[in-house]
Chains A and B, each alone.
Chain A
Amino acid sequence: AQSVTQLDSQVPVFEEAPVELRCNYSSSVSVYLFWYVQYPNQGLQLLLKYLSGSTLVESINGFEAEFNKSQTSFHLRKPSVHISDTAEYFCAVSHGNQGGKLIFGQGTELSVKP
């Protein structure tokens, strides 16, 4: 069975500091990997995805994640965070043939302080 573990429930960080949100998964088959962001009282927005190809994927707002098959990880990083990055971040996996059926981690609350 698939599972996703986000190792940190809360990550406080100062503005302009780097941040890493950790995600590990377990699966016996190939997976697709995603990061979603949820701002307060809103739905989830897709931040970035790994389907195949290059193991390093980037978003338009400076986040990046690297798929590491040997460590079964998909950690999310940003070299310099902004106050507006304060949100909850969810890592998720799916099997290719299961489309939108996602298994989510527990979420990591990123709090950026001035």
Chain B
Amino acid sequence: NAGVMQNPRHLVRRRGQEARLRCSPMKGHSHVYWYRQLPEEGLKFMVYLQKENIIDESGMPKERFSAEFPKEGPSILRIQQVVRGDSAAYFCASSPPNSGPPTFGSGTRLTVV
């Protein structure tokens, strides 16, 4: 079991570009969560998805951020027109239905220059 796979590990974008972060959950896990870790801060919940459904997006910024978890393929966190304040580590986690705490991936470190 390869665990939660995130790619890329590091991503550099210029201001105004788009960032796409990918997450493949653990085998058998149908629930995906995205978290953001800003410098010197803890992790903040962003969004909770199941296949083809957004369950809870209460932590997502209202503009420029979107997430999807299609029937086939990885979950994608998309940030349009990135700004310097988007620089952070973005972590994906997954869990099976109704079962315990999630397993985290190694994260994608986004740097906006």
Contacts and interface: CB of A to CB of B under 8 A. Distances in A.
Interface in B34-60: 35, 41-45, 48, 56
Contacts of B41: 106
Interface of B: 4, 31, 33, 35, 41-45, 48, 56, 91, 93-95, 98-107
A106 B42 contact: yes
A7 to B, nearest CB: 13
Contacts of B91: 43-44
A36 B101 CA distance: 10
B93 to A, nearest CB: 6
A53 interface: no
Q: How large is the interface on A (under 10, 10 to 19, 20 to 34, 35 or more residues)?
A: 20 to 34
Interface of chain B, helix or strand or loop or mixed? strand
Contacts of A44: 43, 91, 104
Contacts of B56: 98, 101
Contact of A104 (B43, B98, B100): B43
Given A43-B91, A44-B91, A106-B41, A101 B103 contact: no
Given A100-B31, A100-B95, A104-B43, A43 B100 contact: no
Contact of A99 (B35, B43, B98, B106): B98
A47 to B, nearest CB: 11
A45 interface: yes
Contacts of B103: 46
5 contacts: A43-B4, A43-B91, A45-B104, A99-B95, A99-B99
A11 to B, nearest CB: 16
Nearest to B99: A99
Contacts of A46: 101, 103
A43 B102 contact: no
Given A44-B43, A101-B56, A102-B43, 13 more contacts: A32-B101, A42-B106, A42-B107, A44-B91, A49-B101, A99-B48, A99-B98, A100-B95, A100-B101, A102-B45, A102-B101, A106-B42, A107-B42
